[in-house]
Amino acid sequence: MGHQDKTRAAYDGVVELYASMFANRLETQPFARNMIGTFAELVRGTGNPRAADVGCGPGHLTAMLHDLGLDAFGLDLSPAMVDHARRAHPSLRFDEARMEALPVEDGALGGVLAHYSMIHTPPGEVPALLAEQVRVLAPGGLLLVSFFGTDGPEPVRFDHKVAPAYSWPVDRFAELLTGVGLDMFARLLHDPASERGFLDAHLLARLP
Ligand SMILES: C[S@@+](CC[C@H](N)C(=O)[O-])C[C@H]1O[C@@H](n2cnc3c(N)ncnc32)[C@H](O)[C@@H]1O
């Protein structure tokens, strides 16, 4: 079983619990909520409102992007998450897909949101996922990626409640964005004072 299969099985098993814990989470997270609002405004400004929420989970952020004026759709590895998202947001489109091979044509999107969806990907594979996200962005398109940030020199594996995950030194992740040809132009680091001690890291980049 590869790590994607393990992640899929893990999320398939916690859909209702995850949705009950996280589907309204941004109501109490003004930093993340406003960063997503900024992303949506910038995507609208490109004139191409088509946007993918990759690793969308229960679909709540796809719905938020839709409410913010984007033509948003959600993609996730977990069929049970996709099923939940479709039932929770019947007017929106959700499909089962892997971030490793997005079912989207080259250069089609004004924006890609990857909110805590690459946290389970082994660090060595993250550049390939970012390159795949770049492939589907139109010139001028925006990527907002959010993850657990740390100060240390290397990504650190930790026991996330659902599946093993990795926290990232923020500068290292920013270098990956630059490495796939994106211009990294904004970052928001928020200390949620959680027991785990990670920062909420949000990086916003644009395809030239
Ligand atoms: C921590 S949850 C985040 C869900 C949602 N973005 C949010 O912020 O609440 C991670 C999600 O990414 C999905 N995921 C993980 N690896 C993936 C991959 N390689 N391709 C597609 N989805 C993936 C999982 O199935 C899960 O729904």
DSSP assignment string, 105-135: -TT-EEEEEEES-STTS-GGGHHHHHHHHHH
User: Measured from the CB, is residue 62 less than 6 Å from ligand 1?
Assistant: no
Domain 3-206 coded CATH 3.40.50.150:
yes
Nearest CA to ligand 1 atom 10: 117
Distance 138 CA to ligand 1 centre (A): 23
Ligand 1 contact via 102 beta carbon (within 6 Å)? no
User: For ligand 1, is residue 12 a contact (CB within 6 Å)?
Assistant: no
Q: Which numbered atom of ligand 1 lies nearest the CA of 4?
A: 19
Kindly indicate the confidence band of residue 1, based on its pLDDT and cuts at 50, 70 and 90.
Answer: confident
* pTM of this structure: 0.97
Of ligand 1's atoms, which has the minimum distance to the CA of residue 113?
Answer: 6
The residue whose C-alpha atom lies closest to atom 24 belonging to ligand 1 is: 55
Using CA atoms, how far apart are residues 15 and 3, in angstroms rounded to an integer?
18
Q: Which atom of ligand 1 approaches the CA of 99 most closely?
A: 20
51 ligand 1 Cβ < 6 A: no
How do 71-76 and 93-96 pair as beta strands? Answer: parallel
159-166 contact pairs (CB < 8 A, 24+): 160/119, 160/120, 162/7, 162/10, 162/11, 162/14, 162/18, 163/6, 163/7, 163/10, 163/11, 163/120, 164/3, 164/120, 165/119, 165/120, 166/119, 166/120, 166/121, 166/122, 166/123
Least-confidence region, from 13-17, 114-118, 174-178: 13-17
Task: Give yes or no for residue 148 having a pLDDT over 80.
Answer: yes
pLDDT bucket at 196, cuts 50 / 70 / 90: confident
Q: pLDDT category, 189, cuts 50, 70, 90?
A: very high
Every domain of the chain and the residues it spans: 3-206
9: pLDDT strictly greater than 90: no
Which residues does 121 contact at the CB level (< 8 Å), separation at least 6?
Answer: 3, 99, 129, 166
Mean pLDDT of the chain: 95
Residue 163's pLDDT is 83
Is residue 193 very low, low, confident or very high in pLDDT (cuts 50, 70, 90)? Answer: confident
Q: Could you tell me if 72 and 104 are in contact, meaning their C-beta atoms sit under 8 angstroms apart?
A: no
Element (H, E) at 2: none
The predicted pLDDT at position 154 comes to 94
pLDDT digit string, tens, across residues 26-39 = 888 899 999 999 99
pLDDT in the model for residue 179 = 98
Lowest mean pLDDT among 38-42, 114-118, 159-163: 159-163
User: Residue 6 C-alpha to ligand 1 middle, in angstroms?
Assistant: 12
- Alpha carbon distance 10, 124 (integer Å): 21
181-198 mean pLDDT = 90
pLDDT bracket for residue 192 (50, 70, 90) = confident
Q: Is the pLDDT of residue 190 over 80?
A: yes
CA distance 109 to 137: 5
Per-residue pLDDT at 145 exceeds 80: yes
Ligand 1 test: best mutation among 77, 116, 117, most atoms within 8 Å of CB?
A: 117
Which of 7, 29, 53, 196, when mutated, tests ligand 1's pocket best, judged by the most ligand atoms within 8 Å of its CB?
7
Q: What is the mean pLDDT of residues 60-86?
A: 97
State if residue 158 touches ligand 1 by the CB under 6 angstroms criterion: no
